[in-house]
Amino acid sequence: VNVLAEKKKELARLRDEVALKTIEIIKLIAERNRLAKRIGSVKRSEGLPLDDEKVEDELLREVLREGEKRGVERQLVVKIVSSLISEAKRVQEIDPGGSRGSPMSVLTKVVKLQREGKRVIRLDVGEPDFPPPAAVVEACHEALKGEKTHYTESRGIPELVEALRTYLKSKSHFDAKPEQLVVTVGGRFAVYAAIATAVKEGESAMIIEPAWPAYKEQIEFVGGKAISVQTSLEDGWGPSPEKIEERIRSNTKAIVLNYPSNPTGKIVKPSLFREILEVANEHNLTVISDEVYDSYSFAPCPSILEGGADSFILTSSFSKTWAMTGFRVGYAVCDRESAEKIVRLASLMYTSVPEFIQYGAIKALESEEEATRNREQMRERIAIAGRELDRIPGLEYYRPDGAMYVFPEAREESFDASTFAESLLNEDGVSVIPGVGFGRYPRCFRISLGSPKEVIVEGIRKIGEKIP
Ligand code: PMP
């Protein structure tokens, strides 16, 4: 009994000590914040940049060394340093993301106008207007009638996984094991799952801007930091491997590539793609290659499945190739271990893609004719958009190598694409997405080629009349 009483006393004493240490940590954080605030005002008064990634990285390295010496787990150190830095930024009133316009806000406004009965020339939509293959619709019907209306394996039904294997083998000569494939709710979830798999709280991932906004938002959603590498129209939207390497930090885990690109239509040359992969390999980065637009390629488009990356997750979709956006079906291809994590995430979040949709998706993979037809129409639309844009002296643009967008830039230095897009919608009934949605591109806007030719021509002519 005495021994037990002694132990209880010791436990109580230890708990008190832990509480004291925890309070000490909070006091230290308060002190740290006060210092950060002073740093903020010095930087502001001297006009120095508020955000300094190099300083942050040096701090992380130093603290990691200390943590290692004292046996504190690396992941915990990364998390804590990241939280401290965010907190310091909050007290210094630094907006971590910088404010940006979102494509979603344009979409909401456009839909409202349309509901009010206004005609809108939709050059904003990120989806092709083509119908899905008839065989897909038919297969979904049959599946529904045949009561394929249940939960399935979270990875996807074996028949679809097998059909994907055959498809990838014939298209990319890639021999995927079934364990390397996961069917997902759209390419969007595949991208999210890839990011959640490769990037943990406090770590960072690189994106090449201009970029599809979800990359940055999803990286931040999992508690990571998005490091953006800027590209410019002047450089034909090509990223420089040197610049990429220079911006890699000790906590950088992944790089997101997207060719053909949304919003620029850029496809990098295979040699540049390989150089980027070499940099990624050297720094142990997982390459997340989002190839949703690969069927709309009008120049040789490198795929991550051709090899060259030590660690990769490919994400793709049925949405664009077969115009199946509303079916919500996509997939990921990667190593077994990452695939396991993605399957687990899918099973936690939504169990499976609807069974009858998966039966439809099998038919899509066989619908080569429709994929070709869609591609040829997009090729024609790119040419037509180019002809129309060439007649607008105030705009410069890169002629897309692929995808379904053009991302022109106004020549006038003071041009503000957000204001322009707003008045273009209100006064001329044409909707485009301002460039700030894709990064720091205030003079650019995205024109989608997801609408018929006549609509594209009419829309671009109205744009031309308004450009200074
Ligand atoms: N990646 C990119 C670059 C996209 O533009 C889109 C769609 N806008 C997606 C992924 C996801 O599309 P979905 O979820 O319809 O497959």
Would you give per-residue pLDDT tens digits along the chain (468 residues)?
A: 788 999 999 999 999 999 999 999 999 999 999 999 999 888 888 888 777 888 898 999 999 999 999 999 999 999 999 999 988 888 887 755 444 455 667 788 898 889 999 999 999 988 999 999 999 999 999 999 999 999 999 999 999 999 999 999 999 999 999 999 999 999 999 999 999 999 999 999 999 999 999 999 999 999 999 999 999 999 999 999 999 999 999 999 999 999 999 999 999 999 999 999 999 999 999 999 999 999 999 999 999 999 999 999 999 999 999 999 999 999 999 999 999 999 999 999 999 999 999 999 999 999 999 999 999 999 999 999 999 999 999 999 999 999 999 999 999 999 999 999 999 999 999 999 999 999 999 999 999 999 999 999 999 999 999 998
Q: Is 264 in the pocket of ligand 1 (CB under 6 A)?
A: no
Which of 262, 353, 448 gets mutated to test ligand 1 (max ligand atoms within 8 A of its CB)? 262
Q: Is 152 in the pocket of ligand 1 (CB under 6 A)?
A: no
Residue with tokens 């830039």: 409
Measure the CA–CA gap between 340 and 350, rounded to whole angstroms. 15
Measure the CA–CA gap between 170 and 181, rounded to whole angstroms. 16
For every residue of 235-251, DSSP letters joined together read TTTPPPHHHHHHH--TT
Measure the CA–CA gap between 383 and 28, rounded to whole angstroms. 62
Q: Which atom of ligand 1 is nearest to the CA of 127?
A: 8
Query: What per-residue confidence (pLDDT) applies to 95?
Result: 57
Query: What per-residue confidence (pLDDT) applies to 98?
Result: 46
Q: CB within 8 A of 74, min separation 6: which ones?
A: 64, 67, 68
Q: Is 92 in the pocket of ligand 1 (CB under 6 A)?
A: no
Query: What per-residue confidence (pLDDT) applies to 96?
Result: 52
| Cα distances (angstroms) measured from residue 211 to each of 98, 200, 226, 262, 407 | 15, 21, 11, 6, 11
Which of 215, 292, 295 gets mutated to test ligand 1 (max ligand atoms within 8 A of its CB)? 292
pTM: 0.91
* Six-digit token string for 87: 């907190």
Q: Which atom of ligand 1 is nearest to the CA of 187?
A: 16
Which of 102, 188, 192, 295 gets mutated to test ligand 1 (max ligand atoms within 8 A of its CB)? 188
For every residue of 3-41, DSSP letters joined together read HHHHHHHHHHHHHHHHHHHHHHHHHHHHHHHHHHHHHHH
Q: Which atom of ligand 1 is nearest to the CA of 261?
A: 3
Alpha helices in 116-207 (DSSP H): 134-145, 158-172, 186-198
Query: What per-residue confidence (pLDDT) applies to 99?
Result: 45
Measure the CA–CA gap between 132 and 381, rounded to whole angstroms. 19
Q: Whose C-alpha lies nearest to ligand 1, atom 16?
A: 187
Which region holds residue 186: left if phi is over 0, alpha if psi is between -120 and 50, else beta? Answer: left
Query: What per-residue confidence (pLDDT) applies to 89?
Result: 86
